[in-house]
Amino acid sequence: MEVRVEKLEKRFGRVAALAGVTHTFPKGALTAVVGPSGCGKTTLLRVLAGFVRPDQGRVWMDGRDVTDFPPQARDCALVFQNYALWPHMTVFDNVAFGLRLRRLPSHEVRDRVREALALVELDRVPGIESRRPRELSGGQQQRVALARAIAVRPRLLLLDEPLSNLDAKVRHRVRVEIRALQRRTGITTVYVTHDQEEALSIADVLVVMEGGRVVQAGRPEDVYARPRDPFVAEFLGSTNVLPGTVAEGGRIQPRERGRLLFRAEDVALLPAGSPPPAGAVWTPGEVVDCLFLGAVYRAYVRVGDTMVMADGREPVRPGQVLLAVPKSRVMDFSGDEAGADLIESAAAGEDRRTRTRTRT
Amino acid sequence: MSLATEAHRWERWAWVLATLPAVAVLGVAFGLPLLQSLVASFVREGRVTLENYAIVARLYGRDVLYTLGVAGAGVTLTFGAGIHLAGYLRLRAWPWVEFLLKVPLFVPFVVTGHAMRVFLQPSGTLALALSAVGLVPSGARLGIGEGWLGLVLALTWKHLALVVLLLVGAFRGVDDSYLEAAQGFGAGILRQIWAVLVPMSATSLALATVLTLTSMLASFSIPLLMSRGSGPQMLMVDLYYRFGQHGDFGVASALGVVSYVMASGAVYAYLRSVAR
């Protein structure tokens, strides 16, 4: 099912939760909507589900205007952040609830409950059908919630921060399983999360929201590599924001009005006094600390009044360093044509496909 | 002994002192009379005997069943209406309806009894209204107010407000997501009430049932005012006459113990349901 929202607006008192959202959710794709708390992503999901009526704008599902339709008439299912499994019902009764309301014969209800439990790989857990939610782990509850949603074979699956109550390890595993499940079923899915890593890893299409608006949408790789907006650049990845502009020779000049954005993984730390590498912007700095994060070491480098993060494979000792970033990896939102041109001219020889500089 | 332990000990004693007056009043005003009436129910003419209970069985057996029947019917009717009203209020939020439903809370039992007597008596307000619209012949006498049905209606009206108040509170404790999950699958209001709200508020519902049942079992003013003087009576009315008019403290105490046992049965059922 293709879902389109046009100029959606919703206010709660003085707060505009949605301020003119227009977007098309492609058929059969998993769209992750990501943004900070209060950006309107959950409100957007609840508008799609039919639990919130927009003040303005329309919702179209496969070309049909469903803005005024109640939730049950939209052929969609919502997985709630807290799973909302009814605690007094068994797993079977929870999953069968929607099917029984559709007055399916009991043998079909049974078959479809088992099919749904198999899809979420709970069929191998002994006695799962007769257990109550409190007797399940967080991960199992999450899968039951998914099974309950897909048992009614919705054409649109809505997931509201479905992994936020799980610990990190289970979250990573279930994330992969949700992705695989979506691929198997081909249900158009909208996945709301505040976790950028989760959104980047799971989505076919990434939608970044801020202040009730869609700031940028596209393939996760494109949005990450080519942010069109300082907010997106800052929100995705471990992004450094360094006040300043680029002078002749690639040296970063501290200035109040300029802002250079670059990611921690793009920063190279060289011994103090080293010649600046070609095709890089650079500045002296002082390593004040270095933390082991598991996959990488993160050094914290003081540059003027700003602390810059730099990720590397090896630990770095505190002391003076030369901080360098490939010019093609610097995102310049300063609006300073001269500075931007300096970065552009330095990066001209590099592969244009990896360039990320964007003017606002 | 650490400072924390010392502070904890003083805090515990402070709480003991704070609750002491309430416990003392409870002991003097409730515990002691209960013990006295329990003892008195087994004493007749200075002898320890079961004769008081034999008199209760012989003279008031039918009234015990009548009291249980009226209270049972009252609780059923009260909760039949209260669950739906509270459910609708939880799902739809009508502040004015909620306010109106609470009005009976502020009406004393005596006033309720008198109002219901006037309203339901054979040629009372209800009979006049029904004859005015032609539903009953003019001058016809309605018998609702004289029998068990009138009493059940009066007790229901009086208790409905408290039950709705308790249930709305319990239903509001159920997170919206549980209701929206049901609604999303197509559950209507009645289904959301009976499949989600009621089972998820079972403990509060059981407590409200016990409170209502014991209150109806112990109702006195309303049955006394609506009584026609003949036929079965509620036990509290029997107790009042046995003690106040006959001065028979032994049988009155036995009636009290029977009432206490009936109420204890409801409390026992509640505790069992909570423990499960």
pLDDT in tens, B128-168: 888 888 877 777 667 676 778 888 998 998 899 999 999 99
Position B61 in a domain: yes
User: Does A256 lie in the same domain as A228?
Assistant: no
CA angle B29/B33/B39 to nearest 5° reads 165
Q: Do A82 and B187 touch (CB under 8 A)?
A: no
Residues 48 to 67 of A: which have CB under 8 A from any B CB?
A: 49-51
User: Does A246 lie in the same domain as A228?
Assistant: no
Per residue in A16-74, pLDDT (tens digit) is: 999 999 999 999 999 999 999 999 999 999 999 999 999 999 999 999 999 999 998 99
User: Does A58 lie in the same domain as A99?
Assistant: yes
User: Does B98 lie in the same domain as B21?
Assistant: no
Residue A33 has, within 13 A of its CA and on its CB side, a CA count of 30
Return the closest-CA partner of residue B186 out of A332, A97, A26.
A97
- Would you state the pLDDT for residue A288? 96
Q: Which of A20-24, A198-202, A352-356, B194-198 has the lowest mean pLDDT?
A: A352-356
User: Does B58 lie in the same domain as B36?
Assistant: no
Cβ-Cβ contacts under 8 Å, A101 against chain B = 185-187, 191
Among chain A residues, the shortest Cα distance to B177 is held by A84
Q: Are B60 and B239 in contact (CB under 8 A)?
A: no
Q: H or E segment at B272?
A: helix B249-275
User: Does A272 lie in the same domain as A182?
Assistant: no
Strands (E), chain A: 3-12, 15-25, 30-34, 56-61, 64-65, 76-79, 156-160, 188-193, 205-210, 213-218, 239-243, 245-246, 252-253, 259-263, 268-271, 280-292, 297-303, 306-312, 319-326, 331-332
- Would you state the pLDDT for residue A347? 43
Q: Do B178 and A86 touch (CB under 8 A)?
A: yes
Question: Does residue B243 or residue A258 have the better pLDDT?
Answer: B243
- Would you state the pLDDT for residue B193? 97
The residue-averaged pLDDT of A195-210 equals 93
User: Does B107 lie in the same domain as B2?
Assistant: no
> What is the number of structural domains in chain B?
2
Position B5 in a domain: yes
SS3 B209: helix
* pLDDT interval class at A171 (50, 70, 90): confident
Residue B262 belongs to domain with CATH number:
1.10.3720.10
CA distance B141 to chain A (A): 48
Position B129 in a domain: no
User: Does A259 lie in the same domain as A157?
Assistant: no
User: Does A323 lie in the same domain as A256?
Assistant: yes
User: Does A265 lie in the same domain as A211?
Assistant: no
User: Does B175 lie in the same domain as B242?
Assistant: yes
Domain that holds residue B100: 53-112+160-275
Amino acid at B72: G
Residue A11 belongs to domain with CATH number:
3.40.50.300
**Closest partner residue to A97 among B175, B185, B202, by Cβ?**
B185
The residue-averaged pLDDT of A185-190 equals 94
Position B33 in a domain: yes
Per residue in A136-153, pLDDT (tens digit) is: 998 899 999 999 999 999
CA distance A283 to B59: 104
Which of A187, A207, A233 is the last residue before a domain boundary?
Answer: A233
- Would you state the pLDDT for residue A348? 43
Q: Do B185 and A78 touch (CB under 8 A)?
A: no
- Would you state the pLDDT for residue B116? 81
Cβ-Cβ contacts under 8 Å, A98 against chain B = 185-186
CA dist B271 → B206, B215, B220, B268 (Å): 9, 17, 26, 5
Position B123 in a domain: no
Position A360 in a domain: no
* pLDDT interval class at B25 (50, 70, 90): very high
- Would you state the pLDDT for residue A359? 31
Position A130 in a domain: yes
User: Does B197 lie in the same domain as B218?
Assistant: yes
Whether the pLDDT of residue A349 is over 50: the answer is no
User: Does B104 lie in the same domain as B19?
Assistant: no
CA distance A162 to chain B (A): 13
**Closest partner residue to A88 among B184, B191, B200, by Cβ?**
B200
* pLDDT interval class at A335 (50, 70, 90): low
* pLDDT interval class at B224 (50, 70, 90): confident
Residues A70, A71, A76, A81, Cα dihedral to 10° = 160
CA distance A264 to B178: 42
Which of A214, A233, A252 is the last residue before a domain boundary?
Answer: A233
> What is the number of structural domains in chain A?
2
Q: Which of A150-164, A223-237, B102-116 has the lowest mean pLDDT?
A: B102-116
- Would you state the pLDDT for residue A350? 38
Tell me which residues of chain B have a C-beta less than 8 Å from any C-beta of chain A: 175, 177-178, 180-187, 191, 195-196, 199-200, 202
Position A331 in a domain: yes
Q: Which residue has the tokens 């069943």?
A: B65
- Would you state the pLDDT for residue B271? 84
pTM recorded for the entire structure: 0.80
The residue-averaged pLDDT of A339-345 equals 46
- Would you state the pLDDT for residue A356? 34
The residue-averaged pLDDT of B84-96 equals 88
- Would you state the pLDDT for residue A334? 60
User: Does A200 lie in the same domain as A77?
Assistant: yes
Cβ-Cβ contacts under 8 Å, B180 against chain A = 49, 51, 71, 78, 80, 84
Sheet with strand A3-12: strands edge to edge: A15-25, A3-12, A56-61, A64-65
DSSP 8-state secondary structure symbol assigned to residue B121? S
Residue A258 belongs to domain with CATH number:
2.40.50.140
Among chain B residues, the shortest Cα distance to A151 is held by B185
User: Does B164 lie in the same domain as B36?
Assistant: no
Which of A185, A218, A233 is the last residue before a domain boundary?
Answer: A233
User: Does B68 lie in the same domain as B22?
Assistant: no
* pLDDT interval class at A291 (50, 70, 90): very high
* pLDDT interval class at B276 (50, 70, 90): low
Whether the pLDDT of residue A321 is over 90: the answer is yes
Whether the pLDDT of residue B76 is over 50: the answer is yes
Residues 11 to 50 of A: which have CB under 8 A from any B CB?
A: 49-50
User: Does B180 lie in the same domain as B81?
Assistant: yes
* pLDDT interval class at A341 (50, 70, 90): very low
User: Does B17 lie in the same domain as B60?
Assistant: no
Long-range contacts of B235-240 (CB under 8 A, 24+ apart): B235/B60, B235/B63, B235/B64, B235/B67, B235/B259, B238/B60, B238/B63
Report how many Cβ contacts below 8 Å link chain A to chain B: 56
Q: Are B161 and B112 in contact (CB under 8 A)?
A: no
Domain that holds residue A259: 238-354
**Closest partner residue to A80 among B177, B185, B187, by Cβ?**
B177
Q: Do A84 and B175 touch (CB under 8 A)?
A: yes
Percent of chain B with pLDDT over 90: 55
Q: Do A84 and B178 touch (CB under 8 A)?
A: yes
Q: Are A58 and A69 in contact (CB under 8 A)?
A: no
Mean pLDDT of chain B: 88
Cβ-Cβ contacts under 8 Å, B201 against chain A = none
Position B80 in a domain: yes
CA distance B176 to B90: 10
Q: Which of A31-45, A100-114, A202-216, B223-237 has the lowest mean pLDDT?
A: B223-237
User: Does A143 lie in the same domain as A273?
Assistant: no
- Would you state the pLDDT for residue A342? 43
User: Does A279 lie in the same domain as A173?
Assistant: no
Position B200 in a domain: yes
**Closest partner residue to B181 among A70, A80, A88, by Cβ?**
A80
User: Does B96 lie in the same domain as B193?
Assistant: yes
Position A267 in a domain: yes
Mean pLDDT of chain A: 88
User: Does A244 lie in the same domain as A140?
Assistant: no
CA distance B133 to A237: 77
Whether the pLDDT of residue A2 is over 80: the answer is yes
User: Does B214 lie in the same domain as B250?
Assistant: yes
User: Does A264 lie in the same domain as A189?
Assistant: no
**Closest partner residue to B185 among A81, A88, A152, by Cβ?**
A152
Position B137 in a domain: no
Question: Does residue A327 or residue A165 have the better pLDDT?
Answer: A327
